[in-house]
Amino acid sequence: MTEQNTEEFYSADQAAQHAADWCKRNPAWRRICDIPDTSMFEKTYDEIPKRERAYWDKNGGEECWREFGAGGTKVPTGFISGKGEFFDHVLKVPLHHNLMTVYRVGRRWKPRTAWSASAPRN
């Protein structure tokens, strides 16, 4: 395990700004704060691997999985630190750097509004 430098500190505002700049350079990615509903990117109980689901079926089922399990996401996820660095896992972000989560949703992805989600499709 590498030692963490605790003398550096970066604010959440710095992380948000670096993430905005990073997403402009990487247009397939979006900041979590720019996505109205991130639940569409999270795996459901039916989408977890069969082996994992079999474990949870023996140990409390979906209710326990929701409480204690880690489903993960359907799309790649990253973390931009307040220093402006990209990390592929939240635990890799240095201590006191703060972070902004980013999702790789694709270049053409547009957030669905409440109106468009309920509008009839022809």
> pLDDT (tens digit, 9 = 90+) per residue, 21-46?
999 999 999 999 999 988 889 999 99
What's the rounded Cα separation, in Å, for the pair 102 and 20?
A: 9
pLDDT for residue 60 = 93
This prediction's pTM: 0.76
pLDDT for residue 104 = 95
Q: Which helix (H) or strand (E) holds 9?
A: none
Residue 84: how many CA atoms within 13 Å on its side-chain side?
Answer: 6
pLDDT for residue 119 = 47
User: What stretches in the chain show pLDDT beneath 70?
Assistant: 1-6, 113-122
Q: Given strand 86-87, what is the order of strands in its sheet?
A: 29-31, 99-104, 77-81, 86-87
Residue type (1 letter), 78: G
